[in-house]
Structure 1
Amino acid sequence: MKNRKSITAVSFTETAGHTNDPDIIISDPHIRLLEKERHVLLALGDDLTKVREKNDLILLFSSRIRELYPFSHSLITLINYASQTYTPFLLDPAPSPVESHHAYPALITAHYPVDSPLIQQVLTNDAPTAFIIRDIMDVPGNPDFLRLNYEAGIREILLTPLKSKEQPIGFLHMYAADTTSFTDEFRNVIKGIAPQISSAVTNIIKNEEIAHEEWINEVLLSLSNEMAKVRTRQDLLKVITSSLRELICFSHSMMTVMDETLEYYKAYLVDEEARLSELTDCSEALSIPVDDGIYDIASLYYKPLIFDMQTLNMDTMPAWCKLQYEAGAREMIVKILGGNGSARYGLMLFAPKTGTFGPTAANIIQRISSQLFTAASNISANEEILRRENEKSFLLEFSHDIAAVRTKDELKQAIFRVLQQVLNVKLPMIRILEDDGLTLSPYMYDETMFEKMKTTFTSLSAKNIDIHEALSARVLNSEEPVIFNIAEEVRQGNPSPYIPLWQSTGMANTFGARLRVGNTNLGTIWLLTDDINLNILKGICAQISIAISNIRANEKILAYKQKLEIENDYLKEQIQTIYNFSEIIGSGAQMQKTYRLISQVAESSSTVLLLGETGTGKELIARAIHNASPRKGKLMVKVNCAALPAHLIESELFGHEKGAFTGAIDRRIGKFELANHSTLFLDEIGEMPPELQVKLLRVLQERELERIGGRTTIKVDVRIIAATNRNLEAEVQAGRFRSDLYYRLNVFPINLPPLRERQEDIAPLANFFVAKFSKNTGKKVNGLSAKVLQELKSYHWPGNVRELEHLIERSILLCDGHMLKEIHLPRHQPGESAQSPVFSNATLEQIERAYIVDVLKRCSGKISGAGGAAEILEIPGTTLHSKIKKLGISKADYFMK
């Protein structure tokens, strides 16, 4: 036997009847057949031991066998002994002839009975059994997939039982398109590999069970971690409806919680699909007895209890159970979650068909029940802490509101706002105990809540009652608030006339408490409410008691204050008649009239319009008004409307935002905002451009503005003092000044007298300026000579006080002694007298020309504008230009050389 190879090494090609090795020749057909079967079995057995995935098993089996023996397709089914059925487990990846049939999807998921003649014969034979499909497909009890395969061209089926520990676990189905495919050789091969296939199927099932259990453990661990993080009911509901649904197939869920008496339960968490919102107004849904036929039964079991809802008598079931059934639920699983000796929470899951919840679902719920109970308990504890914190915050906020009130009306508004808007509690009456200690008089009440019995309430609320009145006596004699259940008081026939009033409001309870500060009773408070929160209501009563005590004390103080104010009225009148404007020089009749006007308007916030020639001291008067006003604590803000270009006045007054226009590199606060709660002095208001007059008018009317480029409306409280040397009425007539703005400014006009009309004030003013500029220049000038004083009084003063001030300053600079003996008044042209000329034989045109020249000289040649000759002559500048041209007046006539 030299150089002969072992027969076990023969390949599939060798078993086919030939080999490449010339030393090995197998001629006996029977031996060749046996060798072929043996090698097929060895190769398949070796491969089957490596199978871990079920798809790999059917793929390996079909591909290897199909290389040797012709057949159409194959599949493996498993037996369910609980239901005595078998169902497809592994499908051949090769296209099935029946795959295109419309019944194929139902075919591969159907459950077929194991007591059919076909299966019973296979189990009896305990070996691969071939059937001609045409002969068995119409036998009663045989599966319908036989006919479907026959119609698709399949003619023979081979069924092989698969066993584990001598117990059938399923079948290997093989199909062929003719009746000669399943030979004895083929059946022997299948019979030989059946144990390996059975072992592979068993391993696959075990691996799937292990993998499924590992997956369940992973999901449960994740679920446990998620429940450890929840802080609110919504978080817990999200965990239940999302994460738990990965493990258990259910349509919707709900959780319940028991009340403190452990006799009733109500909804704690509700899925949107649970439809409990339909029971919002149903007391049964809000408070359900635990002995309802579901909760009490489920609480007797340690493990979750499954209910077939079709077997329940819905007439006796709670409303939530009826709603779920009407919504399509047919099965529910209930687990009562307990801890510390009490079954406090309950979990209900619902499914649309029976058989959904089985041992696996029950085991999963049992495993998470402790974490679910802990999560719900923590949430409830957090809600209780939050509720207490909210109560404290509420009482603190209410305390702040109450502490700010100073009058009875403010207290009433604060109480009504809190009680009605926050707590849904109404205040029918507060009665105050009078000084006699016996009478309770009405102090505060809400008549709007008794519309149905308005006449009765009006009558009762207008009367004082005695402290011995039945309801009030119960409240005053009780250390704690008294709660009256209105329905119970009606049932008992309480004769008090207040009971029908309470009943007419539709509220459930009346809360009565005594108002007390220290050991002193102040009165009684009555509140109507549906839900009683004693902590909040007692806290409110304490705060109201303090507020009423303070208000009554303040009322007494105000009474004493008013008495003192009346006694001081005469003194105030005398003070108002004394003018103390030390900054303003002058005591003549004209200035006394001005002082009186200042005193009359200073205390108000009215707009003041100062009118007068240039240099009459309009800014000084404006400052005097401000300093005598309640706004004197803030700086008066000044804007000269003639000193700024027209395009900058708007920004100066109203401000601008960054980037509002070219050059606006930063935000600028306008003068109106700077003058908020103070005074804004608008000097030379007559020079304001017409387009800005409109915006100024809006601010004066609305008391609000917007910065240039801004969108935010800014409220301002500014007092306006405007000044002008123009005749605004003439400007309005000429169309250069808006009439509506003029009327808005001309609320309280004050006309300042020119210096030429204040002869008696020239000497005091001159002496004041002499002292001022002597000190500033360092010269010791002590006074003015009589000659200088006479010259000052004889001068016309077109520039008024300002001209006098500057003239004195110039004269002191030129003075050499201690007495100002020479004043440097403006000089006239040679040949003309210093005084206004007297024309005895002159014509009217000559007189007019001389007068115009004189005025032009006094105005230093200025024709129009503020302080110009046209203003003094009270004619338009254009008219003066025409006259100058007509009369032949040149600059040489009025300019000093």
Structure 2
Amino acid sequence: MKSAKQSDVKDDQKFTILLDDHSLGSLNSQIESFERERKILLDLSNDITKVREKNDLISLFSSRIKGLFYFTHAIVTLIDDQKQTYTPFLLDHTASPIKDHSQYADLIHAHFPLNEPFINQILRSDGPEFFLLDQIMDQPGSPKFLRMNYEAGIREILMTPLRSKMKTIGFLHMYSDRKDSFCKDFISTIKGIAPLISGAVSNIIKNEEIAYKERVNDVLLSVSNDMVTVRDRKDLLKVINFGLKKLIPFTHSVMTVLDESGQTYNAFLTDEESRPREFSKYTEAISNPFPVQDGIYDVAAQSGKPAVFNMKSFDISKAPLWFRLNYVAGAREMVIKILPEQGTARHSLILFANGNSTFDEKAIHIIERISSQLSTAASNISANEEILSKEQEKSFLLDFSQDIAGVRTKDDLEEAISSVLQRVLNIRLSMIRIIEDDGVTLSPYMYDKNMFYGEEPVFKELASKNISIDEYLTAKVLNSKQPVIFNIAEEEKKGNSARYLYFWKKAGLKNAYGAALRVGNQNLGTLWLLTDEVNLTLLKGICAQISIAISNIRANEKVLTYKKMLEVENDHLKEQIHTIYNFSEIVGSGAEMQKVYHLISLVAESKSSVLLLGETGTGKELIARAVHNASPRKNKLMIKINCAALPANLIESELFGHEKGAFTGATDRRIGKFELANNGTLFLDEIGEMPLEAQVKLLRVIQEKELERVGGKNTISVDVRIIAATNRDLEEEVKAGRFRSDLFYRLNVFPINLPPLRDRLEDIAPLANFFVGRYSKNSGRKVNAISPGVIQELKSYLWPGNVRELEHLIERSVLLTNETVLREVHLPKDRTATKNEVVDLASRTLEEVERSYIIDIIKRCSGKLSGRGGAAEYLDIPATTLHSKIKKLDIQKSEYFSG
């Protein structure tokens, strides 16, 4: 049996057991909660150790924790100690309520300062800190992502510092759109897993650094291998684009090269494919030289390492053109690395980016590592290009020399020059001027008409204007052994007002090139080019070839000209040889012709102009040749031109000649009559028929003794003796306004009036016998005499056609006769007097006119009144009627018969 004490002990034990059972449920619940938390943390730790991608970590973390507690999303940010900022590192893009916000893309790359009030509170804390967004988002210095989340519905944020090795490396941000989401258990759990997150983040950072270094090494090794195979700029650009872009997210690149003087730089290669396309003139702009002292290049050169520029910080209006164009296209940041000098070339690399912070320390380090290889590659390319350029120059000059060797005409040369300058060198020929035979005058020889489009009046002035070899710019070129570069702005400052400076400036050029054309040591002319840059060595070689070609063409043109002149002279000599008259012996010795001979003897020895007047057929050309043959010019040509036989539009070409292409149909250069008659005589027959327009130009040539061919630009001096002839009354023509008075006075220096045949009765028989002898021989007839009756008939005829009519009448009569004596001639039936014989009729009576006319006819019939060849026959009246009229009009025998 148990004692009472024992009974009490058992009761106490029962009470104790009852108490333990009461608290055991709560304890077990805590144990289970801790066990579950421990298991979650253990599982999360195991999963975290398997994570390789950083965004997978935040997704895994969120999914595990969301199994225990409610929140919307979480992110991890990292601290940049150097910049004293923190920036997003791990993001849950799927769960973020602000993922569609317009500023979200900028937000995930932004850097936020550490000196914000609520961030400082977290840095001082040893665990998670809970905040209501509406209490902190508007505090001074609060980051903008707080308000953006609040506006998206977020109300609470739990910020946990992430520490590694006693150093805060970042923050865990957890957000909720509900109130009281972050309870003590939630905060305790986050505090417990914070070291796991810190460790995972540290491992990810280290792995990323290792992977990045390996990737950088792989890419740079690949780039290095690729550079070994680089042979030209295009290959180098591919290496930069496909290699360097794998490591640095730039938009486009440029490489520049410093000039030999070290004062300017320009493009070495441009990124045509990846550069912004909003500006079409980019390549042209970057190709122009820029001064080193531009606040960009010089700064980069002084820094010694890649220099990063925030393009927004520059005064765009004062920046270089290439900088402005890139800025307009969207570039906001750039880095310039002056590459190590290799040989004589100094290159630089410029990379552009559309956003900021592209060129960070990693990018700078990569550029530094690759700079030496880039410099070597660029220098090798420059050296190869120089060698290739020299080879191309030699090959080009050889080809051009072969092309020039086949040139025979000016047109062929112009085509060859146009091809070599425009298609090969991409420059324009302004003008070639040639020194004329006087050794002083430079005349335009060849030019690019397209250059003067829209400025035709000034162009015509320049194209037709000759200049002297002493002209300032020309003299400098002709006196220089090398091509001369003229800076247009500087020439204008010097006060040089040459008109062609206007065209150079209008073409948008800064410089113009002038080179002397020479054959041996003799200056041939000048060549002017429109370009700001040209290979002077190549230009010198081209000029030498062009000089030889022009010299050959001009020599060939002179040979052809002399050949044509000789051909024309030969034709004229043949014409003179076959002329039907012996011009040294004029048939006729009557009183009227004696007067003419006297006048010829007076004027022949002089240079005076002679004007031959007289009816048609009186032998004006014969007298003109007599004057020429009696003059000192007799050993030169007498060139004849019939002014009435040519259309008005061809007279100028015939007189003065024309250049090839001067008008439609002008396929060759033509030497005019004035040039052919130089130092000789020009016979202008029928001068009264010349149009007024041609009279003006004829007068100028006669007065100034110089001319220009139609379509030509060169002035040609001539020494020509003028003999003009006309059957018109030029004084009446002047009064009527059909002939210029000044030309008339210039020609009428020494007039010679040729008598009509009707006033030379004593010369009719000698002339008739002369023509009978000629045409008998030509026709094969044996006519050797003229009957007295025929002579009487010939003397009684009035001869309106003068000697020409007599000649043709005898020719016809010889052909119609079969005898040795010409017994019959076929005179025209119309025997009326010419207008020159009917003088002052209005002042005379009919009886006086009739009396005078009958006396004249009887005189012509040598006093014979009736029978064949008598006056009655020619008057067509019976002989008895004639006797009656003689008696009625009181005509005395002494009036018509001299015994």
**Structure 1-normalised TM-score?**
0.48
**Structure 2-normalised TM-score?**
0.47
